[in-house]
Structure 1
Amino acid sequence: MRLQSLPVVAGFAVLALIVGTRALLVEGQRANRAAARETIEYQQQLSGLLSLAQDAEAGQRGYLLTGEKSYLEPYQKAVDAIPGQLARIDAMTSSNDQLAPLISQIKGALAQKQAELAVTIALYDKGDASKALELVRSGQGKAAMDDIRASMDTIRRIGAADIAARDEQTDQVEAWLRVGSLTALVAIFLLGAYTIRQSRRRFREVATAQEELMRKNIELGNEIDTREKAESQIRQMQKMEAVGQLTGGIAHDFNNMLAVILSAMNLAQRKLKRGENDIEKFIEAATDAANRAANLTSRLLAFSRLQPLAPQVVDTNRLLTGMSDLLHRALGEGIRVETVLAAGLWKTYADPSQIENAILNLAVNARDAMDNDGKLTIETANSHLDEAYAATHAEVTPGQYVMIAVTDTGTGMSPEVIAKAFEPFFTTKPVNKGTGLGLSQVFGFVKQSGGHVKIYSEPGQGTTIRIYLPRFFGAEEPAAPAGHGKSTARVTETILVVEDDARVRAATTDAMRELGYTVIHVGSGQEALQKLAATSDIALLFTDIVMPAMNGRKLAEEAVARQPGLKVIFTTGFTRNAVVHNGVLDHDVHFLAKPFTIEQLEAKLRDVLDAKG
């Protein structure tokens, strides 16, 4: 067996030697190319330095001959640029002891030349033109330039000699490689003959091996069934773990917020009972906690792709331009923001407010990753995701997209962090520094909009997050008129509020009355229709959507049929309902999500009541 294996081992050894030698040759060629590039770049830097010195000399000569100050412009530009050029040359020379003395000679000669130029210009400026020209004719400047050129020529010869030596070494390796290749051919021929001989014997063993293989396949099939059952159980456990993480995160954050609200309300009640009125800070704390709870719910709905979207045709470049002040205020003075907006950018069809929220979320995350000191780049581009890309990324449909990239110079992410970055409540920030919902909200919005989001990052190299939103095809619809906001006119309208939850109904009614409206409130759709028939001056129907017997959509259709021109606003705390389909609000539907502030309620009421039609 050892003798039979010897040709195979020898053949493979020769092949391995040839492959290794070829690899070394390739690496040598790469090194030669790199050295050649460095030599060329180095010589270009030297040529640039010589060109600057010549520009300075030409500017000086022109000034001395004509007296025109304009001739000093190239001189001054050259003098200003020479230190930077020398710094780049020094950086490239730092590891080369052979070139360092020559560079020192160039620096000395250049300093002499600059001194000669400065002195002659100063003499001319003082009115001593003859002495300035005499200094020029003395040949000091020419000698300095000759020294510079001579040193540069020496450096060029050294570079050429180095490249020639490398080429000679490569030629020697190629010669040995040709000999080795011939040896490899012989070894391969012997290996082929040995293989043919062995194959005849092994063919006889195939039949026996096939029978054994069939038996093993049966055993393997049984093993696969067993493993699939085990993997199914593991997947179920992982799902339960993910649900537990999500539930735990929600419970943790909501309990914290509820603790603030309960504590603040209890303290406020105690103070009121004692006749004390300094309860504003408790009300502010409770309101802040309630707002954070509402924001948490909104982010969870975004992650689960259940938030109601109001998409429009969006010019992303214009949107980013409008966000400039907002970004600078949110990021602070330590972050340098740069926008790179593509010319001829396609339009996309998405909810512009959610695009702004997504960009702001990414920008704030980037600011934290840079510890409030770094550069943030926001870029737009037209992009095409092809079939090959879609095959390696789930939920991606091949086609044309508008790409928004947010790049930071922060700490970057490891592959393990990237894999979990979009999970809700996952965060690498310190305690109380992040909810872990920012990226999950971005992910949910982009997916709900039919887009794609991708993270590119390495530890210590910063992070780029790219959002791809589908390109919009078709004619652009006219933009909806802007809301009227807070009206200065006296409120006179009557509103019918329909809400099956008595506490929510009472709170909504009180808020509207606080705003000055006349309010009629009922708890069901049937009662609403009766009130509508009995009251002729109702201007707006404000109805919950999810109600027993008759939901808000059916109520609105019946009410408008009975009273054409009646304005309708829908409200709900859950968006999978009769006015939201595929995550998008139905056309011409006015919607206000629960919970809402009195300011949001006021703005929505005026927008709808003041709208034409």
Structure 2
Amino acid sequence: MTHTSKTQSPAAEDTPLKITLIYALIGGLWIIFSDRWAAALVTNPVALTEIQTYKGWFYIMATALLLYLLIKRDMTALQENEDRFRATFEQAAVGIAHVGLEGQWLRVNQKLCDIVGYSREELAQLTFQKITYPDDLEADLEQTQRLLAGEIETYSMEKRYIRRDSSIVWVNLTTSLVREPTGEPKYFIGVVQDISQRKQLEEQYHHSQKMEAIGRLAGGVAHDFNNLLTVINGYSELSLNRLSEADPLQKPIREIQKAGERAARLTSQLLAFSRQQILQPKILDLNEVIAETSLMLKRLIGEDIELVTFTRANLGRVKADPGQIEQVIMNLAVNARDAMPQGGKLTIDLANVELDEEFARRRMEIPPGSYVRLAISDTGVGMDKETQKRIFEPFFTTKGLGKGTGLGLATVYGIVSQSGGSILVYSEPGWGTTFKIYLPWAKEISETVPTSHVPKIYPSPGTETILLVEDESGVRDLVRDTLKEEGYVVLVAGNSAEALRLCHQHPDPIHLLLTDVVMPGLSGHQLAQALLPLRPHLRTLYMSGYTDEAIVQHGVLEAGVAFLHKPFTPQTLTHKVREVLEAPAYTNP
């Protein structure tokens, strides 16, 4: 904190008085005693006059020497103090300034020049009001008026300066007032500390907290919608299967089914944003991914947009879900296309990069290390800073009504985050946009590519007994009706407690536990564990509208876990049930 200075130090005030008193004392003693000694020793008037003349010159020389020594001593001390002050002023780790009462910069150190980007000469032509961010000026002026009025001795505030290059720098400013000995204001002393990095970290933290909260909300909404869509889509398919092709109800029910499928895609995007999707990661060479999607991208963006791709030899491999990575590229390509209504250029560039600790943690909150950078750039209309702050929020869009869901970039954000990477956006209005995606190098250097798998056609109807546990009545009824039509014996429970009771009471074998994951009381995973001692050979098929950490770690299913994602159709349900029942025996997870 800077303190108010009103008077000189006592030592500085006493120095002139000391010199004066010493000079008067020595001079008085010399005159009194030297005249008496001379008169007593010399009786010749002429000789006495000469002696007094020499005595006067001696006095002048002696006192001059004494004054010189005294003044030199104090000047040396003063210079040392000045040097210490100058060193402190110039080498301080914070900006220091003397500011006139009208706001003019009187004296500044180099650190302050570094903070605001101006030279000393340039600052001398400006006032602090000129470079203060407009929204912060009123509060600053109010505090300076309180200083001048004597209401406070010092004040501190966080404010923004506009740098010479027009960028904004956040500072912590501490200001005090220096007064004349009479009490009149003389000038301000300001101490300026650059807090831009702290502000950036705070903004990143608040942004991540907001995105996490929105993600939780989106995941919950998707879960509820998926339960509803399971019922809508399921009964639509059952109804269509029971109607003849000529039935007039075929068309409206098909429209219901199509709408349900579109809604299911939207909830899938919400799950991607909330990082609750089930991923099937593989070791990928993004060179190959770009090559395979280029033709589709050209069709997607149209003939008036030029597609330019830059692949790299020896590109690091990444571990990600290939379908999800393709969706990231497609979504960003669509976003770029919409930003270039008059045509332009879409550039995709791949590179290996090394992220140091500061850049990785400060800019993206990911570990430092080796990454593959996927940069997608357009020459479109660009975005302002406020838009950039919100582009990854679900349902935020700058497109016209009916021209976008606002989930495209939110989906990209979720997929990249769930894949262990990060995404940055660079844009200016009129200068286009670049999205830079950083995905970590895969630890595995190779992976056997699975051969193409043709789904096995399982015999139907079934005869096994299935314990169905689902707390949503609509989903429960649909699954029960579907399985009964296929010939299965279905034991129905609305929660874990009912399931345990049925398992105890049912004397015959139970072949499959078909359970929701998230339920009141015991979760689906906990229920499966509780049933193991009673039914050691019981197989389990989980179903859910979103993932659960008990069966999913970071969005990747554990080995041996069978999972059916809502919303599902009756056909998907019956196929998955038979797949689990006829699969080789495994330990119930």
* TM-score (ref. length: structure 2): 0.54
Distance 1:575 1:441, change over 3 A: same
Q: Does 1:505 align with 2:470?
A: no
Name the counterpart of 2:404: 434
Distance 1:507 1:396, change over 3 A: same
Alpha-carbon contact 1:246-1:425 (below 8 Å) kept: no
Q: Does 1:556 align with 2:528?
A: yes
CA distance in 1, matches of 2:578, 2:454: 7
Could you tell me which amino acid in structure 2 is paired with residue 591 of structure 1?
A: F
What's the offset of the Cα at 1:429? 0.8
Name the counterpart of 1:286: 256
Alpha-carbon contact 1:540-1:568 (below 8 Å) kept: yes
Alpha-carbon contact 1:313-1:476 (below 8 Å) kept: yes
Alpha-carbon contact 1:545-1:553 (below 8 Å) kept: yes
Name the counterpart of 1:389: 359
What's the offset of the Cα at 1:487? 1.9
Moved more, 393-402 or 561-570: 561-570
CA distance in 1, matches of 2:520, 2:559: 25
Q: Deviations along 1:343-368, whole A, 9 cap, x unmatched?
A: 22222223333222222211221222
Q: Does 1:586 align with 2:534?
A: no
Moved more, 570-579 or 306-315: 306-315
Alpha-carbon contact 2:317-2:445 (below 8 Å) kept: no
Alpha-carbon contact 1:496-1:540 (below 8 Å) kept: yes
Residue 596 (structure 1) aligned to one of 558, 568, 571? 568
Distance 1:388 1:570, change over 3 A: same
Name the counterpart of 1:380: 350
CA distance in 1, matches of 2:435, 2:158: 45
Q: Deviations along 1:579-606, whole A, 9 cap, x unmatched?
A: 1234443333222222223454355445
What's the offset of the Cα at 1:404? 2.0
Residue 429 (structure 2) aligned to one of 449, 455, 459? 459
Name the counterpart of 2:312: 342
Name the counterpart of 2:542: 570
Could you tell me which amino acid in structure 1 is paired with residue 481 of structure 2?
A: D
Secondary structure of the 1:543 match is strand
Could you tell me which amino acid in structure 1 is paired with residue 393 of structure 2?
A: E
What's the offset of the Cα at 1:278? 2.6
Secondary structure of the 1:500 match is coil
Could you tell me which amino acid in structure 2 is paired with residue 501 of structure 1?
A: E
Residue 445 (structure 1) aligned to one of 396, 408, 415? 415
CA distance in 1, matches of 2:295, 2:409: 22
Distance 1:463 1:346, change over 3 A: same
Distance 1:457 1:244, change over 3 A: closer
Distance 1:246 1:400, change over 3 A: closer
Distance 1:393 1:245, change over 3 A: closer
Could you tell me which amino acid in structure 2 is paired with residue 509 of structure 1?
A: R
Moved more, 325-334 or 567-576: 325-334
Could you tell me which amino acid in structure 2 is paired with residue 399 of structure 1?
A: G
Q: Which has the higher contact order (CA 8 A, sep 6+)?
A: 2
Distance 1:537 1:361, change over 3 A: farther
What's the offset of the Cα at 1:333? 5.2
Distance 1:368 1:345, change over 3 A: same
What's the offset of the Cα at 1:611? 4.2
What's the offset of the Cα at 1:506? 0.9
**TM alignment of 1:27-46, pairs within 5 A:** none
Alpha-carbon contact 1:509-1:519 (below 8 Å) kept: no
CA distance in 1, matches of 2:355, 2:212: 31
Secondary structure of the 1:557 match is helix
How many pairs does the alignment contain?
Answer: 384
Question: Percent identical across equivalent pairs?
Answer: 40
**TM alignment of 1:350-361, pairs within 5 A:** 350-361=320-331
Alpha-carbon contact 1:307-1:575 (below 8 Å) kept: yes
What's the offset of the Cα at 1:547? 2.6
Alpha-carbon contact 2:423-2:435 (below 8 Å) kept: yes
Name the counterpart of 1:425: 395
What's the offset of the Cα at 1:432? 0.8
What's the offset of the Cα at 1:246? 11
Residue 313 (structure 1) aligned to one of 276, 283, 295? 283
- Aligned-residue CA RMSD (Å): 4.9
Q: Name the larger-Rg structure.
A: 2
Higher helix share: 1
Could you tell me which amino acid in structure 2 is paired with residue 290 of structure 1?
A: G
Residue 381 (structure 2) aligned to one of 411, 433, 443? 411
Higher strand share: 2
CA distance in 1, matches of 2:508, 2:449: 33
CA distance in 2, matches of 1:318, 1:241: 32
Distance 1:241 1:401, change over 3 A: closer
Q: Does 1:485 align with 2:455?
A: yes
Q: Deviations along 1:64-93, whole A, 9 cap, x unmatched?
A: xxxxxxxxxxxxxxxxxxxxxxxxxxxxxx
Alpha-carbon contact 2:480-2:492 (below 8 Å) kept: no
Secondary structure of the 1:570 match is strand
CA distance in 2, matches of 1:370, 1:488: 50
CA distance in 2, matches of 1:493, 1:360: 44
Distance 1:244 1:320, change over 3 A: closer
**TM alignment of 1:503-542, pairs within 5 A:** 503-513=474-484, 516=486, 518-523=488-493, 524-525=495-496, 527-528=498-499, 534=506, 539-542=511-514
Distance 1:222 1:390, change over 3 A: closer
CA distance in 2, matches of 1:565, 1:315: 41
What's the offset of the Cα at 1:393? 0.6
**TM alignment of 1:221-300, pairs within 5 A:** 277-300=247-270
Alpha-carbon contact 1:486-1:606 (below 8 Å) kept: no
Distance 1:457 1:600, change over 3 A: farther
Q: Does 1:546 align with 2:518?
A: yes
CA distance in 2, matches of 1:371, 1:502: 48
Q: Deviations along 1:173-219, whole A, 9 cap, x unmatched?
A: xxxxxxxxxxxxxxxxxxxxxx979969x99xx9xx9xx99996765
Moved more, 481-490 or 397-406: 481-490
Secondary structure of the 2:363 match is coil
Alpha-carbon contact 2:336-2:346 (below 8 Å) kept: yes
Secondary structure of the 1:578 match is coil
Alpha-carbon contact 1:579-1:589 (below 8 Å) kept: yes
Alpha-carbon contact 2:377-2:434 (below 8 Å) kept: yes
Alpha-carbon contact 1:246-1:424 (below 8 Å) kept: no
Distance 1:196 1:599, change over 3 A: farther
CA distance in 2, matches of 1:517, 1:320: 47
What's the offset of the Cα at 1:612? 4.0
What's the offset of the Cα at 1:286? 3.0
Alpha-carbon contact 2:458-2:578 (below 8 Å) kept: no
Q: Deviations along 1:398-434, whole A, 9 cap, x unmatched?
A: 1111222223333332333223221222211111111
CA distance in 2, matches of 1:493, 1:317: 49
Task: Could you tell me which runs of 5 or more consecutive residues in structure 1 were left unpaired when the two chains were aligned.
Answer: 1-194, 225-230, 270-275
Alpha-carbon contact 1:493-1:539 (below 8 Å) kept: no
CA distance in 2, matches of 1:339, 1:601: 42
CA distance in 2, matches of 1:563, 1:480: 33
Could you tell me which amino acid in structure 2 is paired with residue 587 of structure 1?
A: A
Alpha-carbon contact 1:485-1:607 (below 8 Å) kept: no
**TM alignment of 1:26-65, pairs within 5 A:** none
Could you tell me which amino acid in structure 1 is paired with residue 541 of structure 2?
A: I
Alpha-carbon contact 2:512-2:540 (below 8 Å) kept: yes
